[in-house]
Amino acid sequence: AVQVVESGGGWVQPGHSLTLSCTVSGLTFDDYAMGWIRQAPGKERAGVSCTSWSGGTTFYADSVKGRFTISRDNAKKRLYLQMNSLKAEDTAMYYCGVLTAFLGDDCSVSPVSRDFGYWGQGTQVTVSS
């Protein structure tokens, strides 16, 4: 069975940083684009970032561009999201997922929920003073 497990969430003050990690098992990790999506209280899930299977192409939502960096280690089957200069509006549950709908070595558009074939349980990020 495919398992996706996120970690690294927590509480931070505005302006600080966090790094989220995601470990995947049960599939060939470097066959797939991977992404992060988040859901704030009372809002729908929104794509944050994605990376193609090689890491050669990436996408960032406008709201995080320049502050967040997505990366992957295919040998370790891990996905990362480095989040800098965090803002209160970044507070959300962050989910890592396998983008089974993205074909080829490409991730140039915002991922949406239906693009993900597998999800993790999420990790909470809270940014407040």
Give pLDDT, residue 113.
Answer: 87
Mean pLDDT in residue range 72-90 = 97
Tokens in use for 10?
């927590």
In the structure, what pLDDT confidence band is assigned to residue 76 with cuts at 50, 70 and 90? very high
Give me the mean pLDDT over the 108-118 stretch.
89
DSSP letter at 76 equals T
8 A C-beta contact, residue 18 and residue 70: no
* Three-state DSSP class for residue 70: strand
User: What's the half-sphere exposure (Cβ side, CA atoms, 13 Å) at 127?
Assistant: 18
Looking at the predicted structure, is the pLDDT value of residue 20 above 90?
A: yes
| pLDDT of 103 higher than 90 | no
How much is the pLDDT for 109? Answer: 85
* Mean local confidence (pLDDT), 20-39: 96
Residue 77 region by backbone torsions, left for phi larger than 0, else alpha for psi between -120 and 50, else beta: left
Q: What is the pLDDT of residue 119?
A: 92
Q: CA 75, CA 90: separation in Å to the nearest integer? A: 29
Taking only the tens place, the pLDDT of each residue in 42-69 is 999 999 999 999 999 999 999 999 999 9
Closest Cα partner for 34 from 73, 67, 65, 66?
73
